[in-house]
């Protein structure tokens, strides 16, 4: 927070300080000598009952305005005047190429009178949450009618209505500050209510009057109980059928996250995914899905009866993890479906963005090219980890909602139509046998393509929402067609007693991100970059630990820009922007894979060491790494603590090796080699057993997983086989084929190595044997692997 000099009497100053403070940027041709007078004039507009207080800061040029918006997180509104210069008088060496890149037009060719609207558009791209006002002496009415004026909150003619401008600025910030559900819940909690419904903790009397559980009341505080209710009356609204403040809170969330609609979900993104999948899919539909998707997606396939066509992400065998699914593989699957005459059944592409380990897709490119093959495909982007991304101009480029809006705009533009005509002349009807299509950038027909994107985000994972707080974001041009199904799916999975505090926290998380998300996300990113640099360049720490760079996480063929690492200094931001705009995959810097195998620790052991000895909690582990993540809660002290701990551990290893002599050093080298080099091959998805396929000879791999899943409900259909048994070896060699009865999901790495109905191959069993993790969901070592009995398998399937 900047220190403010308010020059007010002490009582008034104390009052001022209690109100949230922000800054307003004025961009004008005013002589800097007049700036102080302008600020005084604005201060004179303040009233005692203003809900917020602000100061004016000034910029005299187009470029200065952009710099201000990038570097000043206190800004909430911008007032754009007339006649300001284009170039800054300052050089801004650090930001020069970013500034040049931010201008999507040739400044010299633009009429000076259009600078205001052009600036508004650029600023809206950088910080969409800010309110923009135009203060012009030139034909305010005409400007107001221009399409670009859509990004302005209001246009004023000259300075004739300064008080109106002041009130508008407060009103604009108030619109973001307002949390309709939370505000109402607070009001409700203060009302004296007699409750005769089924929620004894509401109002807290059963807690605070108790001799035995009163400590719960003291621990959580009275407000938790006063704000509990099972009623949907009294203005509390209903999550299942919102018509009041939940509806408004959801509309505001849609605005904040750049979606057309937003839905609050109180049982995590696990539930959000199931809702979307059930809403979109029917039995027999084909879904192109990353096998590494969270388990909720696989269960969604079972529930809906849709047939998954599993896609493989590129493997990162050295670290026992996967990257993301190359666009080439998605296109190949779609073209194969087209060749087989099944494209009409392909309904959805289902991907995780960003992945657990930070691989970010280029959603615009994926959607664009897939729509060229099938113009009505729907996309589900699981952005469980990525909700915060909307609030950084860099990360935002990789979000589903931004991509959907940008794609829509692109498809509507006359320039795109020309591009498409040229493409069409070259590519023709997209013959699936044409090998050029996989490497060519495919363009969809603007008259046919529909933009239909869904994003799910665990608000609780990256913003200030309570655990399980999640949102479904929708940009679907054809939502009206599935609205009924969506409602049914929402009813299917939503508790009729949703937690009010979770709903309120979603509302508040949205408020925070709209008002300070930019600052928080930029800080979390900056902390991650500091941590990366410190670990990888520290002479002692880097001897034993390393944080993987973009070059190590994303193979060169998916990094057209050639970017290798996050650099600092002149030009680095522009290079990053360039990479994130065009590369197929990019790495979210806030997700840091710290290699610990080189220090002789496997991921699980190192996670335990950090937790037990240093009270440091981390996210996930792999065979030889841990995943560290920075978020909006972290501080530089947290980073310093982690660096110190890594330094201490590195020093201990160093001492141990020095003092232990040759024996210690060779033992250490053997351990490191085992962890870093003797790594198990990652098993690909094999195939569904023929009984679960319509045509086992088909070139496309979709299968009827639901049937296999429910077959396994009957024990008489199943058998168990220990993975180390002779019988297992025999069956693998001589058959009959082993068919999985369950999802088998080792944690880590957390992806299903078997799904119901899948044929089990030797490499999968080998992987299981080498796994040194304790937790394998769906596998009970004492009983062995559960299989579907060969004799119980159904005959060849009929067509869906």
- Sites of contact with ligand PLP (CB under 6 A): 268-270, 294, 296, 352, 356, 382, 384, 458, 470
The least distance separating ligand PLP from the CB of residue 293, rounded to whole angstroms, comes to 7
Cβ proximity to ligand PLP, 269 vs 604, nearer residue: 269
Q: Evaluate whether 722 touches 786 at the Cβ level (below 8 Å).
A: no
Cβ proximity to ligand PLP, 511 vs 620, nearer residue: 620
Cβ proximity to ligand PLP, 184 vs 458, nearer residue: 458
The least distance separating ligand PLP from the CB of residue 274, rounded to whole angstroms, comes to 10
Cβ proximity to ligand PLP, 458 vs 700, nearer residue: 458
| Long-range contacts from 149-156, C-beta under 8 angstroms, 24+ separation | 149/117, 151/120, 151/121, 151/124, 152/120, 153/77
The least distance separating ligand PLP from the CB of residue 618, rounded to whole angstroms, comes to 14
Cβ proximity to ligand PLP, 297 vs 345, nearer residue: 297
Cβ proximity to ligand PLP, 116 vs 778, nearer residue: 778
The least distance separating ligand PLP from the CB of residue 359, rounded to whole angstroms, comes to 11
The least distance separating ligand PLP from the CB of residue 294, rounded to whole angstroms, comes to 3
The least distance separating ligand PLP from the CB of residue 355, rounded to whole angstroms, comes to 7
Q: What are phi and psi of 616, to 5 degrees?
A: -105, 125
What is the DSSP code string of 587-613? Answer: E-TTEEEEE-GGGT--HHHHHHHHHHH
Among candidates 619, 640, 646, which has minimal Cα distance to 631?
Answer: 619
The least distance separating ligand PLP from the CB of residue 504, rounded to whole angstroms, comes to 17
Separation of alpha carbons 764 and 732, rounded Å: 11
**Pairing, β 131-136 against β 154-157:** parallel
Cβ proximity to ligand PLP, 64 vs 350, nearer residue: 350
Give the gyration radius of the chain's Cα atoms: 29
What is the DSSP code string of 132-195? Answer: EEEEESS-HHHHHTSGGGGG-SEEEETTTTHHHHHHHHHHHHHHHH--HHHHHHHHHHTS----
Report helix angle 268-280 to 295-304, nearest 10. Answer: 30
The least distance separating ligand PLP from the CB of residue 273, rounded to whole angstroms, comes to 6
Separation of alpha carbons 94 and 570, rounded Å: 5
Cβ proximity to ligand PLP, 268 vs 597, nearer residue: 268
Cβ proximity to ligand PLP, 270 vs 392, nearer residue: 270
Tokens 């699914």 sit on residue: 325
DSSP 545: -
The least distance separating ligand PLP from the CB of residue 398, rounded to whole angstroms, comes to 15
Q: What are phi and psi of 747, to 5 degrees?
A: -120, 120
The least distance separating ligand PLP from the CB of residue 745, rounded to whole angstroms, comes to 12
Residue number of the CB atom closest to ligand PLP:
268
Cβ proximity to ligand PLP, 391 vs 751, nearer residue: 751
What is the DSSP code string of 743-778? Answer: -BEEETT-S-SB-TTBEE-HHHHHHHHH---SEEET
The H or E element that residue 126 is part of is helix 115-126
Cβ proximity to ligand PLP, 232 vs 631, nearer residue: 631
Q: How many Cβ atoms sit within 10 Å of the Cβ of residue 411? A: 21
The least distance separating ligand PLP from the CB of residue 767, rounded to whole angstroms, comes to 21
Q: Evaluate whether 747 touches 777 at the Cβ level (below 8 Å).
A: yes
Separation of alpha carbons 202 and 195, rounded Å: 8
Separation of alpha carbons 269 and 383, rounded Å: 9
Cβ proximity to ligand PLP, 384 vs 509, nearer residue: 384
Cβ proximity to ligand PLP, 470 vs 621, nearer residue: 470
The least distance separating ligand PLP from the CB of residue 456, rounded to whole angstroms, comes to 7
The H or E element that residue 522 is part of is helix 500-537
The least distance separating ligand PLP from the CB of residue 557, rounded to whole angstroms, comes to 24
Cα distances (angstroms) measured from residue 655 to each of 543, 594, 609, 651, 658: 13, 22, 18, 6, 5
Cβ proximity to ligand PLP, 618 vs 723, nearer residue: 618
The least distance separating ligand PLP from the CB of residue 238, rounded to whole angstroms, comes to 22
Q: What are phi and psi of 555, to 5 degrees?
A: -55, 155
Separation of alpha carbons 190 and 730, rounded Å: 71
Beta-strand (E) ranges in 571-715?
586-587, 591-595, 625-629
The least distance separating ligand PLP from the CB of residue 461, rounded to whole angstroms, comes to 6
Cβ proximity to ligand PLP, 382 vs 516, nearer residue: 382
Residue 610 makes CB contacts below 8 A (sequence gap 6+) with: 616, 617, 618, 626, 645
DSSP 623: S
């Amino acid at each position: 927070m900047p220190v403010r000099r308010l020059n007010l009497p002490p009582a008034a100053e104390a009052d001022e300080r209690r109100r949230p403070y922000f800054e307003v940027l004025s961009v004008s041709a005013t002589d800097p000598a007049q700036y102080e007078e302008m600020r005084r004039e604005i201060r004179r507009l303040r009233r005692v009952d203003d809900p917020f207080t602000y100061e004016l800061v000034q910029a005299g040029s187009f470029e200065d305005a952009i710099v201000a918006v990038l570097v000043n997180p206190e800004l909430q509104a911008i007032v754009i005047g007339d006649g300001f210069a284009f170039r800054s008088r300052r050089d801004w060496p650090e930001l020069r190429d970013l500034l040049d890149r931010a201008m999507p037009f040739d400044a010299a060719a633009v009429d000076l009178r259009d600078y205001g609207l052009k600036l508004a558009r650029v600023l809206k791209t950088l910080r969409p949450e800010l309110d923009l006002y135009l203060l012009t002496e030139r034909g305010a009415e005409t400007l107001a009618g221009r399409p670009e004026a859509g990004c302005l909150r209001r246009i004023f003619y000259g300075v004739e209505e300064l008080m109106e401008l002041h009130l508008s600025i407060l009103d604009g910030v108030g619109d973001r500050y307002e949390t309709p559900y939370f505000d109402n819940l607070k009001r409700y909690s203060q009302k004296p209510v007699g409750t005769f419904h089924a929620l004894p903790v509401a109002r807290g009397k059963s807690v605070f009057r108790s001799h035995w559980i009163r400590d719960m009341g003291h621990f959580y505080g009275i407000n938790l109980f006063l704000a509990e209710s099972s009623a949907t009356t009294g203005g509390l609204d209903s999550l299942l059928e919102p018509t009041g403040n939940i509806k408004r809170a959801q509309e505001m969330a849609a605005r904040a996250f750049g979606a057309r609609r937003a839905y609050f979900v109180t049982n995590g993104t696990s539930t959000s995914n199931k809702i979307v999948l059930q809403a979109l899919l029917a039995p027999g539909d084909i879904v192109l899905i990353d096998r590494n998707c969270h388990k909720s997606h696989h269960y969604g396939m079972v529930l809906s009866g849709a047939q998954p066509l599993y896609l493989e992400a590129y493997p990162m065998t050295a670290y026992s993890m996967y990257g993301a699914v190359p666009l080439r593989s998605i296109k190949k699957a779609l073209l194969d479906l087209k060749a087989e005459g099944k494209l009409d059944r392909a309904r959805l592409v289902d991907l995780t963005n960003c992945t657990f380990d930070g691989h970010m897709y280029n959603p615009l490119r994926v959607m664009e090219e897939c729509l060229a093959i099938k113009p009505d495909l729907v996309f589900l982007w699981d952005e469980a980890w990525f909700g915060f991304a909307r609030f950084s101009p860099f990360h935002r480029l990789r979000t589903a909602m931004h991509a959907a809006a940008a794609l829509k705009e692109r498809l509507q533009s006359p320039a795109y139509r020309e591009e498409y005509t040229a493409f069409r002349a070259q590519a023709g009807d997209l013959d699936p046998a044409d090998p050029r299509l996989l490497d060519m950038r495919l363009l969809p027909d603007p008259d046919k393509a529909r933009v239909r994107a869904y994003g799910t985000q665990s608000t609780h994972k990256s913003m200030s929402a309570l655990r399980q707080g999640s949102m479904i974001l929708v940009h679907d041009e054809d939502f009206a067609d599935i609205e009924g199904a969506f409602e049914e799916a929402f009813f299917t999975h939503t508790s009729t007693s949703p937690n009010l505090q979770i709903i309120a926290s979603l509302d508040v998380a949205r408020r925070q991100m709209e008002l300070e998300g930019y600052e928080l996300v930029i800080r979390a990113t900056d902390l991650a970059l500091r941590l990366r640099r410190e670990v990888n360049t520290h002479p002692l720490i880097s001897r034993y630990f390393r944080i993987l760079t973009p070059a190590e996480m994303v193979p060169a063929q998916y990094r057209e820009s050639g970017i290798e690492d996050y650099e600092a200094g002149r030009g680095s931001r522009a290079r990053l922007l360039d990479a994130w705009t065009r590369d197929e995959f990019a790495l979210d810097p806030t997700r840091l894979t710290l290699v610990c195998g080189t220090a002789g620790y496997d991921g699980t052991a190192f996670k335990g060491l950090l937790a037990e000895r240093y009270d440091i909690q981390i996210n996930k582990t792999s065979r030889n790494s841990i995943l560290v993540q920075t978020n909006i809660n972290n501080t530089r002290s947290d980073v310093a603590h982690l660096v110190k701990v890594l330094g201490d551990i590195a020093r201990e290893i160093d001492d141990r090796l020095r003092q232990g002599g040759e024996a210690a050093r060779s033992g250490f080298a053997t351990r490191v080699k085992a962890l870093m080099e003797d790594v198990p091959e990652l098993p690909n998805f094999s195939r569904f057993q023929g009984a679960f396929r319509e045509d086992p000879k088909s070139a496309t791999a979709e299968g009827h997983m639901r049937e296999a899943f429910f077959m396994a409900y009957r024990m008489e259909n199943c058998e168990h086989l220990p993975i180390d048994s002779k019988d297992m070896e025999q069956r693998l060699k001589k058959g009959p084929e082993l068919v999985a009865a369950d999802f088998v999901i080792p944690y880590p790495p957390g992806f299903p190595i078997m799904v119901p109905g899948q044929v089990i191959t030797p490499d999968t069993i080998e992987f299981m044997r080498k796994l040194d993790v304790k937790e394998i969901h769906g596998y009970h070592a004492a009983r062995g692997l559960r299989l579907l009995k060969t004799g119980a398998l159904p005959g060849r399937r009929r067509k869906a």
